[in-house]
Amino acid sequence: MQKTFLIATHNEKKKNELLRILSPLGVDVKTDKELNLTLTEAEENGETFYENALIKAQSGCKESGLPCVADDSGLMVDYLAGAPGVYSARFAGEHGNDKKNNEKLLKLLKDVPESERTARFVSVVCCVFPNGDIISARGECEGKIGYEEIGNGGFGYDPIFMVDGKSFGELSAEEKDKLSHRGKALLQLSEKLKDYMSL
């Protein structure tokens, strides 16, 4: 699998994760900067992770002429009927940030007992080819929402997402990639890409 793939994301921390996970899998991934491109920010107005990942990958493929990989991901909290879901990044409003999102979620779940704090991180990754072909994969990671932010690693909801007594914010990059929704989705994607490219 020699082909160069473009990664389409404007989130630097997510870009690093995508590069970190995909590179050792034999997928040659480049950012728009490395390719001297500036991608326009596609409007993520889909109702599902799949739709949003597809919007981003299609837009990146069209602008670059290269096969393009994009991820859409979020946190689904059972007590909130799957929210914040596709709105995870904007949960505390357009001018929010990770800290405000986490604070809002912790406040909403303030009186909710441990047994009802179940949640999952979901990642859908899509690769769109210039001929229009689409390869996608989905990864999930089950956990619980904690009671406070713990750890300085990761990003987004990582500090309040607990798996086996540890928050995602406490894990090393390697530990996180092994467990995480994005790690699982990208591993599956890379296997599908290998099959597809060897056709």
**How far apart (Å, rounded) are the C-alpha atoms in residues 195 and 108?**
44
Check if the beta carbon of residue 180 is closer than 8 Å to that of residue 125. Answer: no
CB of 12 to its own copies, least distance (A): 24
Nearer to its own copies, 87 or 114 (CB): 87
Q: Please, which residue, 93 or 130, has the CB nearer to its own copies?
A: 93
Instruction: Provide CB contacts within 8 A for 79, sequence distance 6+.
Output: 109, 112, 116, 117, 118
Residues 6+ apart with CB under 8 A from 142: 118, 119, 120, 163
- Annotated catalytic residue 195: no
Task: Calculate the CA 64 to chain-centre distance.
Answer: 21
CB of 83 to its own copies, least distance (A): 4
Q: Tell the smallest beta-carbon distance from residue 178 to its own copies (Å).
A: 27
For its own copies, the binding residues (CB under 8 A) are 47-48, 80-88, 90-91, 108
Q: Which is nearer to its own copies, 47 or 174 (CB)?
A: 47
Determine which one of 71, 72, 158, 177 is catalytic: 72
Active site residues: 72
